[in-house]
């Protein structure tokens, strides 16, 4: 592996927003050597940042700040005092480990090594990649109920669409299982839930009536097989409700205490990659449509 992660910690944001970002440490292979790194991805007001320190020589670290704006990634080197990493080990007790920006810019070889390492971490660190690509990194959805997917395409109902599906007498709606993450964001997985005929048609009737739609509350049973935290949610009895008039239904509660805790309490950002890996594994049985997991 080009990039090896050695520890995952949480870092309480210093701006007072209360969010806990990932603090990741590891090493990256450059020119036959291993360079250590420390990184914190953050996001405020829609601006996704990634702060990093890279050990470009023995006890010589360089600091970078990288940000995503309008789908363009920019990065710059900076002085330690301008980075939140100044309050994180090893710099909190030894600020002299960090090169000054002016010193770095004057050393072309070190600068080249720094940005080679920077780009490798960006491309090969799963958490950094997901952070810079939030559209695809945290939104997933099953295309259809498993029992519909298992039908031959010509046997599937022509009335099936993005949020509604049927198989014989069985009726299904799609809803987002949203897991809050300690960094203030959430992981969303679109799952199909079997509902009663009465609920299905009452939902259809208000689908284009925002005021009535936001008052909807449905009960149903999860139809897709998905392991979350090592437990399959298929067969769970759940409550669905919209959050607002612009998005599809969400899971409001689950009768299973572990699934309900995931919905209400969420997870630490440290656990996010493991949960995403579980979701990706489940998704391979149906191909994932690109983007718009929350679209109505
Ligand atoms: Zn903050």
pLDDT at 172: 98
pLDDT at 48: 87
Instruction: Using 70 as the pLDDT threshold, list the residues of the chain that sit under it.
Output: 1, 134-136, 287-296
Q: What angle is formed at CA 118 by the lines to CA 112 and CA 121, rounded to 5 degrees?
A: 145
Domain membership of residue 257 as a residue range: 136-283
Rounded to 10 degrees, the C-alpha dihedral 190/195/201/202 comes to -90
Task: Compute the distance from residue 45 Cα to the ligand 1 centre, in Å.
Answer: 10
State how many domains the chain has: 2
Task: Compute the distance from residue 84 Cα to the ligand 1 centre, in Å.
Answer: 11
**In-domain check, residue 293:** no
Task: Compute the distance from residue 182 Cα to the ligand 1 centre, in Å.
Answer: 12
247 and 178 belong to one structural domain: yes
Task: Compute the distance from residue 24 Cα to the ligand 1 centre, in Å.
Answer: 17
Last-in-domain residue among 83, 110, 132: 132
166 and 249 belong to one structural domain: yes
**In-domain check, residue 150:** yes
**In-domain check, residue 289:** no
pLDDT at 259: 97
Phi, psi torsion values for 292, nearest 5 degrees? 45, 40
> Which one, of 54, 163, 67, 64, lies nearest residue 117 by Cα?
54
Task: Compute the distance from residue 140 Cα to the ligand 1 centre, in Å.
Answer: 26
User: pTM for the full model?
Assistant: 0.74
DSSP assignment letter at 137 = H
65 and 201 belong to one structural domain: no
Q: How far apart are CA 21 and CA 55, in angstroms?
A: 22
**In-domain check, residue 296:** no
Task: Compute the distance from residue 31 Cα to the ligand 1 centre, in Å.
Answer: 36
Whether the bond between 90 and the residue before it is cis, its omega within 30 degrees of 0, is: yes
pLDDT at 184: 85
pLDDT at 290: 39
17 and 110 belong to one structural domain: yes
Task: Compute the distance from residue 5 Cα to the ligand 1 centre, in Å.
Answer: 24
Q: How far apart are CA 270 and CA 98, in angstroms?
A: 26
Phi, psi torsion values for 185, nearest 5 degrees? -95, -170
> Which one, of 27, 37, 40, lies nearest residue 269 by Cα?
40
173 and 92 belong to one structural domain: no
pLDDT at 195: 98
């Amino acid at each position: 592996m080009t990039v090896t992660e050695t520890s995952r910690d949480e870092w309480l944001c210093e701006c007072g927003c209360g969010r806990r970002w990932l603090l990741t440490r590891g090493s990256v292979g450059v020119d036959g050597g291993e360079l250590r790194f420390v990184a914190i991805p953050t996001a405020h007001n829609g601006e996704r940042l990634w702060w990093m320190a890279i050990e470009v020589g023995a006890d010589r670290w360089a600091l970078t700040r990288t940000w995503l704006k309008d789908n363009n990634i920019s990065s710059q080197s900076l002085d330690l005092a301008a980075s939140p990493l100044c309050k994180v080990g090893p710099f909190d007790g030894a600020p002299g480990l960090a090169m000054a920006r002016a010193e770095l810019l004057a050393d072309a070889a070190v600068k080249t090594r720094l940005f080679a390492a920077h780009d490798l971490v960006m491309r090969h660190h799963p958490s950094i990649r997901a952070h810079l690509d939030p559209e695809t990194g945290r939104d997933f959805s099953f295309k259809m109920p498993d029992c519909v997917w298992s039908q031959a395409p010509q046997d599937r109902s022509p009335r099936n669409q993005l949020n509604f599906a049927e198989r014989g007498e069985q009726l299904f709606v799609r809803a987002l299982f949203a897991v809050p993450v300690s960094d203030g964001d959430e992981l969303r997985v679109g799952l199909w839930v079997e509902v009663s005929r009465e609920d299905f048609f009452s939902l259809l009737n208000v689908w284009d009536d925002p005021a009535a739609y936001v008052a909807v509350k449905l009960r149903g049973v999860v139809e897709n097989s998905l392991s979350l935290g090592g437990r399959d949610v298929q067969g769970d009895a759940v409550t669905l409700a919209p959050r607002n008039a612009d998005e599809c239904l969400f899971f409001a509660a689950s009768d299973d205490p572990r699934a309900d805790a995931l919905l209400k309490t969420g997870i630490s950002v440290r656990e996010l990659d493991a949960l995403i890996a579980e979701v990706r594994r489940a998704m391979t049985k149906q191909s994932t449509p690109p983007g718009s997991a929350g679209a109505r």
